[in-house]
Amino acid sequence: MTTLVGAEFLKLRTTRGWIGYVLALVVLTGIGTAAQVGSAAELDLITPEFQRDLLSGSLASLIAFLLGITSVTVEWRHGTITRTLLVTPRRELHVVAKGIAGFLAGVALAVLAVAVVLAVAVPMIAVEDASFVLDGEVGARIGRIVLGAALWGALGAGFGLLLKSQTFALVAGILWILLLEALLTLLLSLVDVDGAADFLPAQALGAFEGSVEDALSPAAGGVVGLAYVIGIGLLGWVRVEHSDVT
């Protein structure tokens, strides 16, 4: 399995798409953090809640999700999936390796995002004669952010396996996160079952990471998010098992 996961990262490095994702993460996270700190009131800068929310405001989860999709669908797009499955005839191992690679990529992206947030926020807050408090709660928030992005990366891999078409998967994934889930949440609130919206994937994982309030507890959000990763991954495996790649 280690060899298969290593092969997945080798494939990812041989494409240039990952560079764009990393640059987007660094630039947008840096700009977003600077804007949040610059527009905040002086009293807000010293509050632990504001500082923890800065960490949760990165785009690591979204980028991890999209990179997970791309890492899978690029093989179907360029036809290299045939060679991959000839080397690894047991397709379930291929699916698991993709999921693990997406998980680890999410970890790396989240660590990078946290580093960018701290690199921008710490000096800007220091200019205001305040300090960024790195305590146990911040450490726990960082841990959940990293694990949450990892789950998003694995979810993206499963989503890509399920849909296979790179364009369709990316468009559908972006629309779901940025638009469709919000519309579904609104519809559920109109019929007085708005609590059900807490169990949607972005809401659940957002509660786990700390970016969504008044929803599930972090532990419950993590369990629901993991259930989505497993469920979508199993559906992706079924799709791959019944796909003709000749």
List pLDDT tens digits, range 183-201: 888 888 777 776 788 898 9
Residue 2: what pLDDT?
75
How far is residue 121's CA from residue 138's CA, in Å, rounded to a whole number?
Answer: 14
Residue 191: what pLDDT?
78
52, 152, 218, 234 from 30: Cα distances, Å: 16, 21, 26, 36
Written as six digits, the tokens of 217 are 């507890």
Residue 105: what pLDDT?
92
Residue 148: what pLDDT?
94
Q: Are the CB atoms for 114 and 52 separated by under 8 Å?
A: no
Cα diameter, the chain = 64
Written as six digits, the tokens of 72 are 């899978």
H-helix or E-strand spanning residue 121? helix 91-127
pLDDT digits (tens, 9 = 90+) for 90-136: 777 778 888 899 999 999 999 999 999 999 988 888 887 777 777 88
Residue 190: what pLDDT?
78
Q: Are the CB atoms for 144 and 88 separated by under 8 Å?
A: no
Residue 86: what pLDDT?
67
Q: Kindly give the parts of the chain with pLDDT less than 50.
A: none
